[in-house]
């Protein structure tokens, strides 16, 4: 049975408290093991999720890369820290991915994607995405210089993935999944406002329809497959830390974190931190593993664990 690695963000926590962690999930045993408790004091405590918690996950060979808001960390499979890197243009990072020998990071605060050379282990490129006369434009910049974009967070870019066809990215305010072919940026698929984890899948797009509390797969063409599977919710009496102001907590059913397991099976994250396995072909939930009933605690990154 497949094992997963996931990260979490804890909203509304105070300095000195944990504001997230890294967990391994054994789906067969439905067991959870916490590997890292993220309680760094070097964070910005303004805003909601802001700088808190651990974010995207990407695995390259025997190295596990995990992003915080403004720092990239590298770990061994037994979670020994082997390196960390910062960049002036990395802020409010969400998802990350590896393609060929580059790790790409969403820098949400700067509306851009940063490239990290896995051989040299340094940031070596930046791609700023902006709208110009109702069209999207990509501008390349040197992330180690002073000519980069301003921190405006207009699109709230929160996901990135790459394949031979190019780079796909999306944000809460991008209007859909965008495709960057190295020169131009075009709309690949229109999506609802507020989506997370949008990615090309089979002949369509897979994403967390976060506002609708659904995980969705939309194929192209008339009469094509369309799935909208509900995110698990719990009896409100079972939830903890519900006495905080809503602006400081992640609401129940907030969908974020998405991982493809096969052509028909996916894993999706939600809050309070829960990972659910779905069968797309049968349009049904197979199993669900809950990490905590703390409403502040929300899944973020989610990937297959390739190590024994």
What are 143-159's pLDDT values in tens digits?
A: 999 999 999 999 999 99
What's the whole-number mean pLDDT along residues 95-113?
Answer: 98
CA 191/CA 177 separation, integer angstroms: 7
Domain ranges of the chain: 3-304
CA dihedral (172, 141, 65, 122) in degrees, to 10, reads: -170
- Domain 3-304 sits in CATH at 2.120.10.80
Q: What is the pLDDT of residue 48?
A: 40
pLDDT beyond 80 at 26:
yes
Q: Is the pLDDT of residue 56 over 80?
A: yes
Task: Give, in order, the Cα–Cα distances in Å from 79 to each of 30, 74, 105.
Answer: 21, 9, 21
Residues in the chain: 308
Q: Is the pLDDT of residue 17 over 80?
A: no
> Predicted confidence band at 41 (pLDDT cuts at 50, 70, 90)?
very low
Q: How far apart are CA 36 and CA 84, in angstroms?
A: 15
Determine the pLDDT at residue 44.
Answer: 46
pLDDT of residue 40: 58
Residue 222 pLDDT level (bands cut at 50, 70, 90): confident
Contacts for 243 with CB less than 8 Å, ≥ 6 apart:
none
Dihedral sign for Cα atoms in the order 64, 68, 73, 78: negative
Residue range 61-79: average pLDDT? 97
> Residue 246: what pLDDT?
55
pLDDT given for residue 18 in this prediction: 65
Residue 146 phi, psi dihedral angles, 5° rounding: -105, 5
């Amino acid at each position: 049975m497949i094992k997963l690695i996931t990260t979490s963000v804890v909203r509304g926590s105070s300095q000195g408290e944990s504001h997230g962690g890294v967990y391994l999930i054994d789906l067969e045993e439905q067991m959870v093991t916490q590997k890292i408790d993220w309680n760094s004091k070097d964070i910005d405590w303004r805003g909601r999720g802001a700088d808190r918690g651990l974010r995207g996950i990407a695995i390259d060979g025997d190295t596990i890369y995990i992003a915080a808001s403004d720092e990239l960390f590298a770990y061994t499979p037994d979670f020994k820290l082997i390196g960390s890197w910062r960049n002036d243009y990395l802020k409010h990072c969400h998802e990350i991915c590896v393609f060929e020998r580059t790790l790409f990071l969403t820098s949400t605060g700067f509306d851009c994607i940063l490239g990290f050379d896995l051989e040299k282990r340094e940031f070596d490129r930046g791609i700023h995405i902006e709208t110009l006369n109702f069209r999207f434009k990509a501008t390349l910049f040197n992330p180690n210089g002073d000519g980069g974009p301003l921190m405006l967070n207009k699109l709230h870019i929160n996901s990135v993935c790459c394949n031979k066809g190019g780079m796909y990215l999306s944000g809460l305010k991008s209007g859909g999944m965008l495709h960057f072919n190295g020169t131009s940026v075009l709309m690949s698929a229109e999506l609802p406002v507020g989506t997370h984890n949008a990615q090309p899948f089979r002949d369509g797009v897979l994403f967390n329809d976060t506002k609708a509390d659904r995980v969705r797969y939309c194929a192209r063409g008339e009469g094509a497959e369309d799935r909208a599977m509900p995110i698990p919710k719990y009896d409100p009496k079972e939830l903890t830390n519900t006495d905080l102001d809503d602006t400081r907590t992640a609401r129940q059913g907030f969908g974020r974190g998405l991982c493809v397991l096969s052509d028909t099976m996916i894993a999706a994250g939600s809050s309070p931190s829960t990972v659910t396995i779905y069968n797309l072909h049968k349009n049904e939930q197979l199993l669900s593993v809950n990490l905590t009933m703390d409403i502040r605690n929300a899944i973020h990154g989610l990937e297959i664990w390739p190590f024994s």
